[in-house]
Structure 1
């Protein structure tokens, strides 16, 4: 797994986000994606999301990671979709209230990557 140890996003905190908060612009998307190269932007039901699949040696390690992501989500009060499978966890971040991507999603993606260190 490729992580960026000095990723500045991982040191930031999510801000409160409301339905009128701006989605990231195309330019911001390009800049922010460069900071989280293992993540893939996905569009589902016309909603842009960030997704990454993490691989593990077994179910127990995947489960432990999924729990860490859940704890991160609660601490940031920003909640992803987490799919737990044998040896694999897929994490999908997006901002429900704006129906797309906010900087918070990139912050949480970077923080998720740090959980594998």
Structure 2
């Protein structure tokens, strides 16, 4: 089958670039093949130099664009009302919230409500005792002195909330904290707020030292 070489010359649909460092695209002839009485011409192009499309960076507007007042169409109206939405209590983390007074007539949190709030505290367990639901957290510390220091840190954090946990220094190096609202016989939102504040206390310097074996 005979093959022929086709030479095409064409002009680009845009004027040549005058910026330095740009050279036009050159078309090279490529052999063609005929199949089913149809001729197909394939072109192989090669860009000489940098990308002929140029830099897509920002530019200053032209005088004609400024005169057209296009900025007024894209920046919005001068009387546009902008609202700053302040997050409500449910959107804030528990540690950022404040405790509120609890009425003795207020019902305690249900088991389902307490389980949903357990996802927002770290290291606490939910206890279901005869007296109602409670939160409990245990810390294994370096020594007795570290246990006393942790209790002091917890007291400083919870002093401003006026809602204190029950703290116990057990054995030589363990501290146990329990939270519940005695006036309603169970858990309230205040218990989870205080638990979240306690979670933010630094305890890494009180943890037992790791043994390094030679």
> Above 0.5 in TM-score?
yes
Worse overlay, 79-88 or 22-31: 22-31
Unaligned 5+ runs, structure 1: 1-6
**Structure 2 residues without counterparts, runs of 5 or longer:** 1-91, 204-214
Which aligned segments of 4 or more residues in structure 1 are displaced greater than 4 angstroms? none
Of 162, 173, 186, which residue of structure 2 is paired with 1:87? 173
Larger Rg: 2
1:63 is matched with which residue? 148
Residue 163 (structure 2) pairs with residue 78 (structure 1): yes
**TM-score normalised by length of structure 2:** 0.48
Asked if residue 52 in structure 1 is aligned to residue 137 in structure 2, the reply is yes
Greater helix percent: which structure? 1
Matches of 2:138 and 2:111, distance apart in 1:
23
- CA 1:90–1:98 in 2, change beyond 3 Å: closer, same or farther? same
Taking only aligned residues, the RMSD between alpha carbons, in angstroms, comes to 1.7
SS where residue 62 of structure 1 aligns?
helix
Normalised by the size of structure 1, how large is the TM-score?
0.84
Instruction: Write the deviation string for residues 14-58 of structure 1: whole angstroms up to 9, x where unpaired.
Output: 111121123123332122001114111113333210000012111
Q: How many residues align?
A: 111
Q: Which of 1 and 2 has higher RCO (CA within 8 Å, sep 6+)?
A: 1
